Structure 1
C-alpha cells in the first residue's frame, strides 16, 4: 500500500469530525508503511491548458499553452504553472524552475483550501526533474531530488503520521542507505529496498535502547525481535510475539465556514525522537517567536483578502481551533490486549507571555467597517489623510518601554532605509496603541496644512473604470500630478499609490521589553513595515454584508499553566484490541493562555504495563483578545 493511499484511509476520515473530550475509532489491521510516492498507481495522462503569465519587463500579460503530466487523472484536478522567470520560459511541455499547483476544478482559483498539492522546483519535459519540494494537502512533504516525476536520489520524506525518512530513493521508493523514524519515535538506520527495511541495521527504541536489528521485506526477523522485546522489558513468548506501539499524529484543522486562510490550526513535525506541534501559520510563528517583521500585511490573505481574519493575529474566535492529536495504539503482539485507561503525563507547562504584535493601516474615510481610525462619528471625508497606525498586541504580556526608530521610503521597495532619522516613544500598552507620525511627516518635508485640506476634498486622478473602480488610468501621470500639488514637498520622492490611496512606506525597528513567566524582563528588537496613508483620490466605496460562522463545538482537555510533573486522566473507556490490529484515539487540547507544554500520552494495560507515546513539544497560541467582528 502506498504512502498517500494509506493516509487517505487512516487519517482523513477523522478530519473535522465532531468529538467529545476524547474519542476512539474502530480497529484497523496494522500495516507497515512503504516509504515512497504514489505517482505510479494510475496510468497518467497529459493535460494542456492556456495560462496567462505577467512579463515584468514588457509589463503585460502573455498567453501561453502549457502541457504537464498528470499522475492522478481520476482526481480530475486542474493545474497552474508559474515560472520563476517569464523571459526564459516557453510554452509546450513545461520546463525550468517554477511553481506547479494542482487544485480542485470546483474551488475558487484563489482559495487555498482547494489546493491538492504544490511543487516548487525544477521541471523538465512536463514532469518534476532535479531538485524540488512537494507538499500535499494531506501534509505529505518531500524535499529532494526527482527524476521523471518520481522521488529519485537523495531526499527527505515527512508523513502526516509523524513518520520521517532521510536517505536515498530509486523510482519513487526508499532504496539504499537511509534513516527512518516511525510514528512512535523508533529510529532505524540501515538499508532499504522498494520502500521497506532490508538486512542489518541499527534500531534505537523510544526509550533510548540501541540494538542491531535484522529485516527482510520490511519485517523484523524473529531472532532480532527477541532482542527488541528484551530491550523493552517484555516477556519472550515465541517467535510470533511482537510488540505494542503508540504513535502520534497531528490532525489538520477542519474545513467549514471559515476559510483555511482565515483560521488557525496546528501542524506536527518530527524532530529527533519527539514531535513538535506548532500553529500552522509560518508568518504568525515568525513574528511572534522569531522577531519577524511586524506589519499589516498577512501572507495568507494576499491573493483574496479576508472577512473573518482582520490582521495577522486578529482571528475570529470561531476560527481558532485547538490542537487535535490522534494517538494510534498498535497491537503487534500475537494475543489480544486490554487497555485499562489513558492519561497525559505532562512534565512541563509554562505560560508564554511574549507579545504578539501586528499593525493596522489607518483610514479617515468610510471603508465598510474596515481600517483603523481614531476619529469619532461617521467619516465623510473624500480624501484620506491618516498619518498614524494602530499597533495590536494579541499576546499575554504587555509591551513595555516601546521605542520606534524609522524613516520613509518608496512603497514596494523592500530595502530598508539607509538611516533612521526619526524616533517615536511608544511606551507601555497591553492590547492596542495608536502611533501618530504626523510630526515626522512634516519634518520629512510634507505640508501638513495642505494635506489636511486635501483630506476633505480628495486628490483628483482619472480612474480606469474598465479595469476596476480603484485603479488610476495612468499611474505615472497621476503620481506626477500629485507631486505638483506641493502638498508632499521633499517627501514626494517616497510616495506611491495603493489603489486610490496615496501612501508612503514607513520602515523601521521596534524595540521593547516584556516580562516572561518567571518574572524576567526580556528585550526584543523587530523590523517594522507599514504603508502610511497621507492622501486619497476621490472615490466612494461599495460595501456589502456578511454573517458569522458556526461556533467551534470541540471540547478539549485543558492543560494547566506554570506547573510540572502532573497527570490528566483521559475519559476514554476500556478498550480491547485484537492481535495485529490498531485503534486510533483522538484528543483535543487547550490551555487558559498561550503556553509551552512537554507531554506524553500513556496507555495503561490491564496487566499493569504502561505504553508511552513519543514526547510531544506543544507551543499553544491563544489570542488574549478578539477584535470586533464585521458581521
Structure 2
C-alpha cells in the first residue's frame, strides 16, 4: 500500500491495520529516499539512504532512530553550494533541510488536485487524477466522455496547484536567510492535443459522422483512423477494419464516415432520404426491427443497435503527429470509441429533468500567487520573505498558475547571509490547464427531429 502524510512523506510498504511493517520505501519532501525495514510504522533494521544531493550510504535503524551507518558529512551533499562550499560544515546552508512538496491539506479540498513523487535524481509534481495522467500520456480512450468526465467540472480560471517550500534547521538553531527563490531552468507549453469526441445527434436522422474536439494547445497533423464497426448491445460482434484519412486540425474537425459505410455495402442514399415513425413508445422494439429489415445495410446489418435511434458503434485507433515549440515532432496512437446515428424513429417520449452542477473551489489564504510563463528559460521567481529573517524554520506557501498545459523544471534555492546556498533536487512540474472547448460541429440543413426524442423517459 501507499500512504502520503500531510508533510509530503510518502511510504510504500505492507500495512497491517494501517501501520507499516516489513520491507518498504519512504521518501520525504526534501528528496531523501529510505529503502529498508519498518516495524510498527517506524524505520527499523538495515536500510539504504539516498540524500537529496544523490549520495547513497548503508544505514542501521532502531524504532525510527538512526543508530549506525556511515552517514556522509554534509559536504558530500551536492545540494550545498555558495561561497562557503569548501569550508568545513558548509556554513548555514549545511544546517538546513529544504524541500518542495504539494500542500496536501488544501489540495485535498481542491477540484484540481496534484500529487508528488520523489525519484533518485528529481521530484515530480503532476495531476493526482489517474485519468488526467492517461490523457496527458495519450493512453486514454478518445470518447464522448474524454473531456467532461475529467475536466468539465473544474473552473480553469482558478485551478492552481498548491505547493510548499519548507526550510528548517536540523538542530533547531537559527540561521540568517537572505533570499528564497525558484530558479526555473525551463518552461514550455505542452503542445500535445487532448482529444475528445462530439457525437452528432439529432436534427435529422442520418448523421454518419462525429467530431474530434481538441482541448490541448497544439494541432494534430497527418491523422489516420483504423476503425471497426460494432454492435453496442453486443460489443463482441464487429466488422472488419477500415482505414480512414483525417485532415489536419487544431480546435476540432468534423469527420464523416459516409464513404466508409458505402464501402461496407450500406445504401447511404436511402438512409439519408428516409424518415421512420412508430405509433407508440411501447411498440419501439417492433418498429426498430421492421426499420432495420427494410434497409440495405450490407456488412453492418447485424451491428445495428438502439431503440429510438439506429445506432452503430465505431472503435479503433487514431494516429497523428504533433510538434513542440523547440522543433521536435512526435507521433501518437490513441484508442477511440464513438456512436453513429444512422436513423431515428419518431414517437412521443417524456423529457427528463437534470440536476445542478458543482460548487465553488475552496479559498486559499496567505498564499503567494505565482504565474509561470509559457515559454521561457533560466529565470528566477523571488519568494516573499516577511518579518525576521533570522529563523529556524520558514514555509513559503505557493499558489501556482500557468496559462496552458505546460512543463516546468525548477529548483527551490535558499541563500544565506554568510554566502552559502542550499537547493532542492530538480522539480519537474506538469501543469494542467486545458484549452476551453471551441469546436462546434456543423449542423445539417433542414432539421426536422425534436430533440426530446433523444431524452430517456422519466421513471
| TM-score bin, normalised by smaller chain | 0.7 to 0.9
1:197–1:218 Cα contact (<8 Å) kept? yes
1:269–1:276 Cα contact (<8 Å) kept? yes
Distance 1:577 1:412, change over 3 A: farther
* One of 27, 39, 49 as aligned partner of 1:203: 49
Q: Does 1:186 align with 2:32?
A: yes
Q: Does 1:389 align with 2:210?
A: yes
For 1:535, the equivalent position in structure 2 comes to: 343
Which deviations, in whole Å up to 9, do the C-alpha atoms of 1:332-366 show, x marking residues without a partner?
3232344433211222223321111111111124x
Q: Does 1:566 align with 2:379?
A: yes
1:296–1:312 Cα contact (<8 Å) kept? no
For 1:588, the equivalent position in structure 2 comes to: 399
1:205-604 paired onto structure 2 within 5 Å: 205-220=51-66, 227-229=72-74, 231-232=76-77, 243-251=96-104, 253=107, 255=109, 260=111, 264-298=112-146, 310=148, 317-318=155-156, 321-365=159-203, 384-412=205-233, 417=238, 419-421=240-242, 423-455=243-275, 457-458=276-277, 462-463=281-282, 479-486=288-295, 488=297, 490-497=299-306, 500-537=308-345, 538=347, 539=349, 541-542=351-352, 556-574=369-387, 583-604=394-415
2:314–2:338 Cα contact (<8 Å) kept? yes
C-alpha displacement of 1:447: 3.7
C-alpha displacement of 1:291: 4.2
Which deviations, in whole Å up to 9, do the C-alpha atoms of 1:506-540 show, x marking residues without a partner?
12332222222222333333222111112234336
Distance 1:285 1:320, change over 3 A: farther
Q: 2: distance between equivalents of 1:611 and 1:524?
A: 40
The normalised TM-score by structure 2 is 0.77
Which deviations, in whole Å up to 9, do the C-alpha atoms of 1:27-86 show, x marking residues without a partner?
xxxxxxxxxxxxxxxxxxxxxxxxxxxxxxxxxxxxxxxxxxxxxxxxxxxxxxxxxxxx
C-alpha displacement of 1:408: 1.3
Q: 2: distance between equivalents of 1:432 and 1:229?
A: 55
Let me know the Cα RMSD of the aligned residues: 3.9
Q: 2: distance between equivalents of 1:189 and 1:386?
A: 58
2:177–2:417 Cα contact (<8 Å) kept? yes
Unpaired runs of at least 5, structure 1: 1-141, 143-155, 299-308, 366-380, 465-471
Q: 1: distance between equivalents of 2:234 and 2:329?
A: 35
C-alpha displacement of 1:435: 0.8
Which deviations, in whole Å up to 9, do the C-alpha atoms of 1:190-219 show, x marking residues without a partner?
443322223554322101123444544323
1:340–1:574 Cα contact (<8 Å) kept? no
1:409–1:505 Cα contact (<8 Å) kept? yes
Larger RCO, structure (CA 8 Å, separation 6 or more): 2
* One of 422, 425, 435 as aligned partner of 1:624: 435
Q: 2: distance between equivalents of 1:568 and 1:578?
A: 21
For 1:77, the equivalent position in structure 2 comes to: none
2:193–2:219 Cα contact (<8 Å) kept? yes
Distance 1:479 1:326, change over 3 A: farther
Q: 1: distance between equivalents of 2:37 and 2:359?
A: 51
Which deviations, in whole Å up to 9, do the C-alpha atoms of 1:269-295 show, x marking residues without a partner?
333453322223333432442343222
Q: 1: distance between equivalents of 2:422 and 2:169?
A: 11
2:221–2:248 Cα contact (<8 Å) kept? yes
